[in-house]
Amino acid sequence: MKDNRWDERLWFGLIAFLALLALIPGAIGNAFHAHVLVQVLLYAAMAQSWNILGGYCGQVSFGHSVFFGIGAYGAAIAMVTFESTPWLGTLLGALVAAVVSVVISWPCFKLRGHYFAIATFAIVEIFNRLFMVWNRIGGALGLDYPILDDSWKYFLWSDNKNGYYIGALALFVLVFGVVRFIERHRMGYYLRAVREGQETAESLGVNSTQVKLSAMALSAFFAALCGAFFAQYNYRVDPPMVLSLDLSMKFVLVTILGGMGTFWGPLLGAAVLIPLQEYTRTYLAALGPGVDQMIYALLIIFMMVRQPRGIMGFLEEFGIIRGDKSGGGEA
């Protein structure tokens, strides 16, 4: 009970701190530091969306860039093709992503373990090629946003990053807040039961197929919202940018580094990997391209060898947090 109260204080304290950064002039720092902070919040939300399926439910997917891309194209099509605001396109894109996730995962869930993961790899390639030749939505060239005034109406900001920071914070709170609710209620127990043993869960009356499909749909919905934010942030969208295996791997690696199946893991993973990626790419650019990727890879290899449960595992090992038997951790 004491640990739970401390965890609650940490959660609300973090939200309050991040909100204050948006209210205090100059607190975020210059444009580059603001960019890094926005990226951390975005990738934390992305990783947490994947964590619903891959961490809590134990169904490792390498296909989440499909849902991310559908959300990104939903916002972009609304902005470019229909010359409208991105809000309705974002919502429709997220709903379409949830439906698509159920349709493609229904047959894939008949596969177990590595076979399911391999099937999701193939799905990414299929959707990438489909969007590359779909000329009505830009094809291989993608869609470029028009130049518009900074506003919440279009969710576009060129003068500063404050609007994007507030949007990224809202997305972060939404995704983490929903996961926090699920983790502490019946759905969370069902997800963990399926992860620990599908046959055992079914013997106890858990409908494993329904649980996995629900986890997939919710995970895809949130991934699509992240994709819509990404499109607005970058002012354009194209298949290699939002429908790639590299992007799908980032969903997975950020979560693995922080700790799969834990509430704080995705945030910890993003807080380490994203600044490392952005700052090495900027300050070590003279060493040649790909330096950030090499450091990124070495860090993941070290983590997998030294502590497979990620940063959360290290925190448990050093007694900073109390572990639990389900593979998660409690702050």
The H or E element that residue 143 is part of is strand 143-144
> Average pLDDT of the chain?
88
> Contact at 8 Å (CB) between 172 and 44?
yes
Q: Domain range for residue 43? A: 2-330
User: CA 78 to CA 58: how far, in whole Å?
Assistant: 35
179 contact partners, CB below 8 Å, separation of at least 6: 48, 51, 52, 56, 263
- The residue with greater pLDDT, 202 or 5, is 202
Say whether pLDDT at 93 is over 80: yes
> For the domain that residue 86 is a member of, what is the CATH number?
1.10.3470
- Average pLDDT, stretch 198-204? 86
Helix 86-108 / helix 208-234 crossing angle, nearest 10 deg: 140
For the chain, the domain total comes to 1
Give the whole-number percent of the chain exceeding pLDDT 70: 92
The H or E element that residue 155 is part of is none
